[in-house]
Homo-oligomer: A and B are copies of this chain.
Amino acid sequence: MNLVGLLAFAVAGALKGADAGLDPFGVATLGVLTALGGGITRDVLVGRVPAALRSTGDVAVVLVGVVVGLVVATLLAGSAGRVRDHPAFLVADAVGLAAFAASGAAVGLDAGLSAFGVVVTATLTGVGGGSLSDLLLTRTPAVLREDFYATPALLGGVAYVGAGAVGVVGAPATLGVAVGVFLLRVLAVRGEWELPTLS
């Protein structure tokens, strides 16, 4: 699941960069940051040297995603946005959100964070990369404005804490949370859910 997510996030980030008119270095940076930025931020918060800068397997998948994004952007020139709205892509993206949120919750709990801290690391691992790439394009992160995207990750973090409180920990908890986040996100896409507006 994690590798599917890394690939989907890298392609999405690269296409977003290409749509915004970045040069190839910028497109590659957006792809890498979208895929790895959430996990890197989480690792820094819990005092670890980011796994993404130490290992190589994950990075290879991300670089493949960046190359795919560069090729697609060059071929589709300007209409690359449609790729990101394709149902297959949205499912792959939901897989990534679910895998990242679950792993973020697990890392937060392992690091001895409070319940609040675990919810933060779950959410941040899921949506941090996309939000950082939004910021590089000087856009308010989309997850703060609309859609039902950060909420499944946040609820995944809450569920992980709750599972731990009743003795469900480790792989069963991580897998359960990942499946729950994935289903919630897919339902949200199908139903075009939005959080209620204020006022």
Q: Interface on A for B, CB 8 Å cutoff?
A: 17-18, 20-27, 29-30, 40, 44-50, 52-56, 59, 70, 73-74, 77-78, 108, 111-117, 120-121, 135-141, 143-146, 150-151, 154, 194-199
Q: Which residue of B lies closest to A53 (CB)?
A: B117
Chain copies in complex? 3
Q: Which residues of B contact A139 (CB under 8 A)?
A: 138
Q: Which residues of B contact A55 (CB under 8 A)?
A: 114
Measured between alpha carbons, how far is A144 from B20 in the docked complex, in Å? 10
Q: Which of B56, B120, B146 lies in contact with A115, CB distance below 8 A?
A: B56
Q: Which residues of B contact A44 (CB under 8 A)?
A: 44-45
Q: Which of B25, B116, B143 lies in contact with A59, CB distance below 8 A?
A: B116
CB pair A24 B113 closer than 8 Å: no
Distance in Å from the Cβ of A152 to the closest Cβ of chain B? 11
Q: A25-B151, A45-B50, A47-B48 are in contact. List 18 more A-B contacts (CB 8 A).
A: A17-B144, A18-B199, A22-B145, A23-B194, A25-B144, A25-B150, A26-B143, A26-B145, A30-B144, A47-B49, A53-B116, A53-B117, A53-B120, A54-B112, A73-B198, A74-B199, A77-B199, A135-B135
